[in-house]
Amino acid sequence: MPAERVSMRQIREVLRLRFASELPQRGIAKSLGLSQGAVSGYLSRARAAGVSWPLPADL
């Protein structure tokens, strides 16, 4: 069974919680109902893409 897709809104929330609220990955995963691996993956992809917080208005 394929994994459920995560919305862009939820990915933005991961970034906000990490950079604005400075929550650890475990706290982000628990508050959003995601696995720690998913949170880690989104954050590493954001880092690799050079995405920072706050996000540009066009995202």
User: What pLDDT, on the 0 to 100 scale, is given for residue 59?
Assistant: 63
Classify residue 27: in a domain, yes or no. yes
Q: For residue 34, give its domain range.
A: 8-49
Query: Does residue 54 belong to any structural domain of this protein?
Result: no
d(CA 33, CA 29): 6
Residue 59 within any structural domain of the chain: no
The count of structural domains within the chain is: 1
Residue at 24 is within a domain: yes
pLDDT (tens digit, 9 = 90+) per residue, 10-58?
Answer: 999 999 999 999 999 999 999 999 999 999 999 999 999 998 888 777 7
Question: Per the domain annotation, does 57 fall within a domain?
Answer: no
Q: Cα separations (Å) of 6 from 32, 45?
A: 11, 14
**40 in any annotated domain:** yes
State the CATH number of the domain containing residue 23: 1.10.10
